[in-house]
Amino acid sequence: MQRLFRMAEIGATKNGGVCRLALSDEDRLARDLFCEWANELGCSIQFDTMGNQFATKTGINPNLPAVLIGSHLDSQPTGGKYDGALGVLAGLEVIRRLDEENITHKHSIDIVNWTNEEGSRFAPAMIGSGVYAGEFTVDYAYSRTDSAGNLFKDELARIGYLGDSKIKRDYKACFELHIEQGPILESENKKVGIVTGVLGIRWYNITVTGQEAHAGPVPMEMRKDPVKKLQAIISDLYVVADKYRPDSRLTIGSIITEPGSINTVPGKVALTLDIRHPDHKILELMNEEISFICTHKHKQVQLESIWHSPPVPFHKTCITAVEKAAQKLKIPAKKMVSGAGHDAVYLNRIAPTGMIFIPSKDGISHNESEFSSPKDIEAGVSVLYEAVKSMIG
Amino acid sequence: MQRLFRMAEIGATKNGGVCRLALSDEDRLARDLFCEWANELGCSIQFDTMGNQFATKTGINPNLPAVLIGSHLDSQPTGGKYDGALGVLAGLEVIRRLDEENITHKHSIDIVNWTNEEGSRFAPAMIGSGVYAGEFTVDYAYSRTDSAGNLFKDELARIGYLGDSKIKRDYKACFELHIEQGPILESENKKVGIVTGVLGIRWYNITVTGQEAHAGPVPMEMRKDPVKKLQAIISDLYVVADKYRPDSRLTIGSIITEPGSINTVPGKVALTLDIRHPDHKILELMNEEISFICTHKHKQVQLESIWHSPPVPFHKTCITAVEKAAQKLKIPAKKMVSGAGHDAVYLNRIAPTGMIFIPSKDGISHNESEFSSPKDIEAGVSVLYEAVKSMIG
């Protein structure tokens, strides 16, 4: 908890949150602090071409595959203290407790701080773990720019974390402890989530075309009003979500009217659509029904699929390790699926990976008022500790 | 037509439109050209504290109340050649034709170019005629700023049209010839609209409050999704418009989602609403029904009334003059209500006023492709000419 609060001073906002954008000066300070703490615990530090930081506590047999713990230290512009930081600092706490209890381990332990998980300064999100897992090339990542036109590579070099080599090692298991960012654990009074996988996601841009018209002189029956059509489309879309409850998610996050003037019938309305489901087949069914709504049922509507992330089932070994740890500690736990993407999703492609959730107060995150109680944090870290301990033999 | 096309060269856009924002260099050039042409026709020119330009062709008895013709020379950022300019230049054409036909007149004739009708650079619209008619104070108008922070007064002085005195005279009748900006005349194959009044207008801001949530971790049934409510509200609003057809208008011109991110359930949706009706009682009924929808039927909705312009009936004398002129010329005409506001609305408060419409191709205006045919323009100017002639005795 001390480390968590000390870390939250870096980029602290007036309202109790954190602004620690990727590759900012605050990000550098957070990285430096992480190094300092890891060194104190006897870890050696390296960082790769993406600036991903790896703190290694070497095991008795360094040739065995290591166990990885970690998450990210960057934040949203008005983010909270817990998202990401918890998962990195929990790694340090695991090392500290192993030392305290004089536990030796054959397998090495790595603690990772993935670069630019949030993606709010440099899109896309999770680019550090993405490059590590082969989803993106380093050159692609380097070419990303922020809204001020700064290059990712330049900013990484500026803060002193542009590494010159890839770091690649075998992992026996990887664990990411993270706040739930949703209301489920809290509402069911569980302390820990055993995350079995991540919802599949599809993102779309939808454009409804009408015809701009002056709000006064053009009678209703002579208009091509895209807002009227928007209303019907939104109604149809929510029906799709209702059909596949309770695991479905459907979010219309942005609606933009053009030209957006109070006395002009818009010529165009653009909206974004985010749908999610843990079952690949159902996600594809939802996709088909949305296509039908936008391309057959309604006219003058354009549907563009812009991103697809299939559902991710985490690795059985890791799920079981987390489950057993919670049982051993008698902590009320719930098997659940993560609604959000995490670095663990990419990592799972190249190494056995699992996640542990702890409750988020009111399900709120990406917000300065994000909160998880010290008690829940202790429970989460203890489960992580036991799960890691079961793997490092 | 020559004057119209010459005027359209000032601020001409690539796509055949005009960008002649109020108090810009282009506005100055347009004003200078108007002076030049008015002088050539023997008019004297004055401008008032608002930069409203008055070109006077003095009658035989200058003590009699004058007849006013006019509109505005400013345009939308991507406006057309006809909106406004037609009504000012038609005044010059009336003077020219009176000269050509050697018609003497007891009453003087004023041609006016009202400042900042469009309001797209300096809000609100129709501020020149508004100050003239006592709707706004000069100081209020002077304090308006454009998006770059330039003061109205400074810009008016910069282009050399900051007058030092009010101009106030009695008018026997005022006429504004304008493009319809709607599709009615064209669709009914009429050449001229005898405008009997202007729709009453009410403007609102509506805010639907929900709760921001991450698109993944929060199940549908635990969300407070304002977009879902938005859909229901929009549906209810269109029912109000349907109920009072064909004269009702209802426009949702702008919808803004906050924060507007693809993977966040918006915390808030803001929309604008513009309703219109020619009948005062019905407009008030619509207002009551909208209040009910927003404040009783749905919860967490805030309705703010931001502007109200009651229906305007034009003056009988002017309406009759226009009607008789069309009859005399055997031009197919239609009595109709203007859906849009015009300088004539404010003017009507202090002097007998009427308007003449001509067809707009496809009902399009505030658009570079705005078009009215030379034939229809000739018809409109001829009706204006006859109407004015009937008044100047």
pLDDT at B345 over 90: yes
Chain A environment of B234 (Cβ under 8 Å): 227-228, 230-231
Residues 215..274 of A with a Cβ closer than 8 Å to B: which?
A: 215-222, 225, 227-228, 230-231, 234-235, 238, 241-242, 245-246, 248-257, 260-266, 269, 272, 274
Site from A212, A247, A254, A258 to mutate, B interface, most B CB atoms within 10 angstroms: A254
Computed over every residue of chain B, the mean pLDDT equals: 96
Binning pLDDT at 50, 70 and 90, where does residue B213 land?
confident
Entry pTM: 0.82
Residue type, A62: P
Query: A2-199+312-392, superfamily in CATH?
Result: Zn peptidases (3.40.630.10)
3 state DSSP class of B109: strand
| pLDDT (mean) for A1-6 | 98
Residue of B nearest to A120 (CA): B261
- pLDDT tens string B280-317: 999 999 999 999 999 999 999 999 999 898 999 999 99
pLDDT at B120 over 90: no
Domain residue limits, chain A: 2-199+312-392, 200-309
Residues 363..382 of A with a Cβ closer than 8 Å to B: which?
A: 363-367
The answer as to CATH 3.30.70.360 being correct for domain A200-309 is yes
Q: Give the position of tokens 């050696």.
A: A44
Question: Rounded to an integer, what is the distance from CA A355 to the centroid of its chain?
Answer: 12
| pLDDT (mean) for A153-180 | 96
Nearest to A305 by CA among A329, A325, A324, A288: A288
The number of C-alpha atoms within 13 Å of B326 and in the hemisphere containing its C-beta is 22
The answer to whether A98 and A390 have CB atoms below 8 angstroms apart is no
Residue B44: the pLDDT is 97
Q: Which tokens in the block code for residue A203?
A: 């993102």
Helix B85-100 crosses helix B374-392 at what angle (to 10 degrees)? 60
**Across the interface, do A181 and B363 touch by the CB < 8 Å criterion?**
no
Residue B261: the pLDDT is 87
Beta-carbon contacts of residue B55 (< 8 Å; ≥ 6 apart): B34, B35, B38, B41, B43, B44, B45, B91, B92, B110, B111, B112
Q: Give the position of tokens 């489950």.
A: A323
Q: For the CA atoms of chain A, what is the radius of gyration?
A: 23
User: What is the DSSP code string of A70-88?
Assistant: EEE----TTB-SSTTHHHH
The answer to whether B48 and B167 have CB atoms below 8 angstroms apart is yes
Cα–Cα distance, A294 to A159 (Å, whole number)? 46
- pLDDT tens string B231-263: 999 999 999 999 999 899 999 999 999 989 898
DSSP class of B315: P
Cα–Cα distance, A386 to A392 (Å, whole number)? 10
DSSP class of A57: E
CA angle (B50 as vertex; B45, B52 as ends), nearest 5: 35
Chain A environment of B364 (Cβ under 8 Å): 213
Q: Which tokens in the block code for residue A321?
A: 């390790």
Chain A environment of B252 (Cβ under 8 Å): 227, 257, 266
Cα–Cα distance, A13 to B332 (Å, whole number)? 69
- pLDDT tens string A114-162: 999 999 899 899 999 999 999 999 999 999 999 899 999 999 999 999 9
Question: Rounded to an integer, what is the distance from CA A72 to the centroid of its chain?
Answer: 9
Residue A36: the pLDDT is 98
Lowest mean pLDDT among B12-16, B55-59, B260-264, B379-383: B260-264
Chain A environment of B241 (Cβ under 8 Å): 220
Q: For the CA atoms of chain B, what is the radius of gyration?
A: 23
**Across the interface, do B219 and A182 touch by the CB < 8 Å criterion?**
yes
Binning pLDDT at 50, 70 and 90, where does residue B324 land?
very high
- pLDDT tens string A48-85: 999 999 999 999 999 999 999 999 999 999 899 999 99
How distant is the Cα of B134 from the closest Cα of chain A, in angstroms? Answer: 24
A163 and chain B: CB distance < 8 Å anywhere?
Answer: no
CA angle (A19 as vertex; A18, A25 as ends), nearest 5: 125
Residue percentage of chain A with pLDDT more than 70 = 100
Q: Return the exposure string of B124-145: e unless at least 16 CB atoms fall within 10 Å of the residue's CB, then b.
A: ebbbbbbbbbebbeeeebbebe
- pLDDT tens string A78-90: 899 999 999 999 9
| pLDDT (mean) for A254-274 | 94
**Across the interface, do A246 and B184 touch by the CB < 8 Å criterion?**
no
The number of C-alpha atoms within 13 Å of B254 and in the hemisphere containing its C-beta is 13
